Amino acid sequence: MTACFYFFGVMPVSTIIDTIRSRRSVRDFTGAPISKDDINTILDAGRWAPSGLNNQPWRYIVVQDCETIEEIATCTHYSNVVQGAPLLIVVFLNHDAKYNYMKDVQAIGASIQNMLLVCCELELGAVWLGEILNRKEKVNSILDAPDSLELMAVLAIGCPVEKERISTRKGVDDVTFNEKFGTGWVGRDEEI
């Protein structure tokens, strides 16, 4: 992992925000394998996400077998992305650990984002694939996953092909109100 500086166990905000801002979805991979240490670091970040009542509703299936990756690739329009990735982390909601559907899905989103950010810190590329949910039953069948596991996403992960990746976001002012709906947020002097 890239160097992090801790002060009394707290990572400075600048490091976190730098990773958040520099993370880009990566869809082209060199094909180089991912180390077991890195896979464990990614999974560790996923499991440390917050969840309602700490119910930890996520389950992950790590897929590295080429034939299985090929099969999963048939379930999405992003087949080339899946085929090019040496590692898939398939993320499920475990209905046996269910607390509240909305909150469980939110917790899984937090788990996924944790994993994406750690991939970025490890200088790995990753993309969150959601379109594949259209074929979620097929994915479960390929992976022998029971009905109690509901597919939430597939993360395609690998060493990134070096290229510029640009993304944009709406301004803070465009998505934020001040105190009440309708009053523009003018809390910042400079554009971020």
Ligand X SMILES: Cc1cc2nc3c(=O)[nH]c(=O)nc-3n(C[C@H](O)[C@H](O)[C@H](O)COP(=O)(O)O)c2cc1C
Binding site for ligand X (CB under 6 A): 24-25, 27, 78, 127-131, 167
- Minimum CB–partner distance for residue 111 and ligand X (Å): 13
Query: 13-22 and 101-121 helices cross at what angle (nearest 10)?
Result: 90
Give the distance from CA 107 to its chain's centroid. Answer: 12
- For 170, counting Cβ atoms within 10 Å of its Cβ (0-12 exposed, 13-18 middle, 19+ buried), the class is exposed
- Minimum CB–partner distance for residue 74 and ligand X (Å): 15
- Minimum CB–partner distance for residue 125 and ligand X (Å): 10
Instruction: Return the number of the residue (144 or 162) whose C-beta is nearest ligand X.
Output: 162
Instruction: Return the number of the residue (61 or 116) whose C-beta is nearest ligand X.
Output: 116
Contact 161/31 with Cβ under 8 angstroms?
Answer: no
CA distances from 64 to 89, 95, 142, 189 (A): 9, 25, 13, 48
- Minimum CB–partner distance for residue 75 and ligand X (Å): 11
- Minimum CB–partner distance for residue 8 and ligand X (Å): 32
CA dihedral sign, ordered 38, 126, 153, 146 = negative
Structure tokens at 149: 């596991």
Instruction: Return the number of the residue (60 or 78) whose C-beta is nearest ligand X.
Output: 78
d(CA 31, CA 123): 14
Structure tokens at 4: 């992090």
Instruction: Return the number of the residue (96 or 131) whose C-beta is nearest ligand X.
Output: 131
Please give the torsion angle defined by the CA atoms of residues 49, 159, 69 and 73, in that order, rounded to the nearest 10 degrees: 90
Instruction: Return the number of the residue (39 or 91) whose C-beta is nearest ligand X.
Output: 91
- Minimum CB–partner distance for residue 108 and ligand X (Å): 10
Instruction: Return the number of the residue (70 or 131) whose C-beta is nearest ligand X.
Output: 131
